[in-house]
Chain A
Amino acid sequence: MMPFNYARARDPADAVRLAAGRTEARFLGGGTNLVDLMRESVEVPKTLIDVTELSQEITARDDGSLLIGAGVKNTTIAADRRVRERFPLLARAILSGASGQIRNMATVGGNIMQRTRCYYFYDESARCNKRTPGAGCDAIDGFNRIHAILGASPACVATHPSDMCVALAALDASVHTVSATGHRTLKLADLHRLPGDTPHIETELAPGELITAVGIPPCSFATRSVYRKVRDRASYAFALVSVAAALDLTDNGTVRDVRIALGGVAHKPWRAEKAEAALRGGQATEASFQLAADAELKEARGLRHNAFKIELARRTLVACLAELSRRDEK
């Protein structure tokens, strides 16, 4: 690991000031991703700015919304009574990720900004456009079982590995940031980018822009929600495919509203807007769930080892919607 300076930020303004003009500075959360990447020389920061002590609060408003500070630990969110009651899919997504130890270390900001688990990205001896722009991609013709089926490009087929972000995308969450140019708020679903020709630019955040909090707007029917994660072992593994969904039905079984996001399938948490549009206003039946899944996955493309994920995503999505519609009848 290359030497670096360590500084503890007193408040968000201090963190931004410490990062200003230093392109090789990184914010440090729990370090569960960054320290690993520094050991592999994928990240070589000259300065680490510890932001774990900033923004530790979860604030609830009467309208049902929540504001979660960027420094809040993943375990703390999943343990929070308001999250468990109002947004169970978020608690479930977090609890399905990593291990108890890692969830105790990982922060909200770090979870959002964590980088792909593509093996070639981690392997300095492999070609990777994300690590070295223009170098080529060894995953496209390599071992690509865990790679993207939606929104990939000829330059990059990596996925975003977060479970938490999939639930946040379904919940229409927004991300609050501060930088030298001021405060701004963007939708979580718009924060991560598709790879295109520039897979090394992963988010809309500028260098030195600090995430301070995540806002979740009210969603009355999120109480009827699921997070289902399919993976190679029962626990402590990244998602092959995951689905976060919430369903709102009228008394006669029509879909009043629905939220769906997919994980493990793309370079970003994938809000399934096409599936949602196909379902809204229609009857909640197995056949309509199938059509909605088809609409979302029409443009999915498989590689040599990951084509199974298209069918897996379709079936997982249909199973989640079926489970939610049955739960509704009770």
Chain B
Amino acid sequence: MHFNVNGRDHEVEPDSRTSLLDLLREHLRLTGTKKGCDQGACGACTVLVDGVRINSCLALAVQYQDRAITTVEGLEADSGLHALQQAFIAHDGFQCGYCTPGQVCSAIGMAKELERGIPSALTEDLCAMSMAWTRDEIRERMSGNLCRCGAYNGIVTAIETTFAGESAR
């Protein structure tokens, strides 16, 4: 089977039972993506597939052949860390760091959703095609990512400063 991860092609023959998370960690040795609960409840395993965030623990790898998969290892550019990764450092968006790869990938997917005008449960006017980057919107949209260390305030600030820029301040 053919998998494209972080722009690189891989030929692997995983068992049909293998989750995308285990494929990344155990077969491709990309251990940046973390396993927290293995049941969709924590978000530690969040990766991007064609730019869309999903939980890789509930995804069977066979379903994701030939798709463009991005993990935390794929975010760094020649110029260094992704701006959001820098912001996590600057704003104390983590303590132990276990949830961080999932938080970062999730926030990048979430930012695209918000920019495309996809509403959230908090969005007041459903017919509006653009939404404000409020802290409450960020919290609601990031609720699928738990942080046992409780670094939420720093996480929200890191996301806000990276994507909302001056407009939200």
Contact = CB atoms under 8 A, between A and B. Distances in A.
Given A5-B16, A100-B144, A104-B54, A31 B60 contact: yes
Contacts of B95: none
B16 A6 contact: yes
A79 B118 contact: yes
B63 A50 contact: yes
Contact of B144 (A30, A96, A236): A236
A31 B62 CA distance: 12
Contact of B118 (A52, A75, A92, A234): A75
A75 B43 CA distance: 17
Nearest to B49: A104
B34 interface: no
Most buried by A among B19, B120, B126: B126
A235 B121 contact: yes
A35 B60 contact: yes
Chain B contact residues: helix, strand, loop or mixed:
loop
A104 B40 contact: no
Contacts of A91: 119, 126
Interface residues of B, number: 39
A101 B106 contact: yes
B143 A235 contact: yes
A95 interface: yes
Interface in B28-63: 38-40, 43, 46, 52-55, 58-60, 62-63
A229 to B, nearest CB: 8
A92 B121 contact: yes
Contact of B43 (A35, A78, A99, A234): A99
Interface of B: 15-17, 19, 38-40, 43, 46, 52-55, 58-60, 62-63, 106, 109-110, 113, 116-121, 123, 126-127, 129, 139-145
7 contacts: A32-B40, A48-B60, A100-B141, A101-B54, A102-B55, A105-B54, A235-B140
